Amino acid sequence: MQSYFTIFINGQPFNCDSSMCLSDVLKYLNIDINKVIVEYNNYIVNKIQFDNLYFKDEDSIEVISIVGGG
């Protein structure tokens, strides 16, 4: 039986399967992990931790896109 809970992504609720890690959620949302910075519960997450970070109910992430320009 699958277990779901709600996390918040940029303030919006997202129903997440308990087996999904941060990189799974970002891939599901079609977010290029090479072009973002992620804050998890007010802490910046190093990209090498994306596969090992699993969520708890009501956790919060902020996804910040990196854009170039001049």
Higher pLDDT, 67 or 39: 39
Which band of pLDDT confidence, cut at 50, 70 and 90, is reported for residue 60? Answer: very high
CA-closest candidate to residue 3, choices 22, 14, 16, 21: 16
Whether the predicted pLDDT of 65 surpasses 80 = yes
Residue 3: predicted pLDDT: 86
Average model confidence (pLDDT) across the chain: 92
Domains and CATH numbers, the chain: 4-65 (3.10.20.30)
Tokens (6 digits) for 58: 């009501």
Contact yes or no for 13/5 (Cβ under 8 A)? no
Q: Encode pLDDT of 1-31 as tens digits.
A: 568 899 999 999 999 998 999 999 999 999 9
Neighbours of 55 (CB within 10 A): 21
Contact yes or no for 38/64 (Cβ under 8 A)? yes
